[in-house]
Amino acid sequence: MKSLKKQRRIQIIAIGAVMLVISVGLIGYAFRDGINFFYSPTQVTESPPQPSERFRIGGLVEEGSIVRGQGTEVSFRVTDGVSIVPVTYEGILPDLFSEGQGMVAQGNYINGTFEAVEILAKHDETYMPKEVIEALKEQGTYVDPNGS
């Protein structure tokens, strides 16, 4: 009788462990496409990602670089103060998107141009995405507008 209970307990533990492994595998698979990494323009130009890799790029919209095309087409350049990456986008830009301001775009780097599918911009006069600030500080080009 005792060996039957012991055997049943081992089976339950083994099934639980298999279910746990399967759950972790499914969660990892689900996050595979959901995790986006942030790259600065310098990182993109030094080590270009594969055209099929979707990622985020962030920096400052270069002054005088915004060119509006037909309809909702727009192109501009994003910089971190060291390197510049041309960006194209088809869609409506956020209201607060402007030259000299921080932005983050998601898309693919194809033939030397970042083709964005989503653009995020600051939400007030002092906001800049944390990743953009860190990348600009790394490059030594960030000046805090609050003086801190």
pLDDT digits (tens, 9 = 90+) for 7-36: 999 999 999 999 999 999 998 887 765 565
What pLDDT, on the 0 to 100 scale, is given for residue 95? 83
DSSP 5-52: HHHHHHHHHHHHHHHHHHHHHHHHHHHHTT---EE-HHHHHHSPPPTT
Cα 50 from chain centre: 15
**How many Å from the N-terminal Cα to the C-terminal Cα in the chain?**
73
pLDDT digits (tens, 9 = 90+) for 104-119: 999 999 999 999 999 9
pLDDT digits (tens, 9 = 90+) for 38-54: 788 999 999 888 899 88
Q: Is the pTM of this model over 0.85?
A: no
What pLDDT, on the 0 to 100 scale, is given for residue 38? 76
User: Would you say residue 67 has pLDDT above 90?
Assistant: yes
Domain of 31?
A: 1-35
Residue 145 inside a domain? The answer is no
What pLDDT, on the 0 to 100 scale, is given for residue 118? 93
Are 129 and 60 within one domain? yes
What pLDDT, on the 0 to 100 scale, is given for residue 145? 57
Residue 89 inside a domain? The answer is yes
Give 81 or 130, the one with higher predicted confidence.
Answer: 81
CATH assignment at residue 125: 2.40.50.140
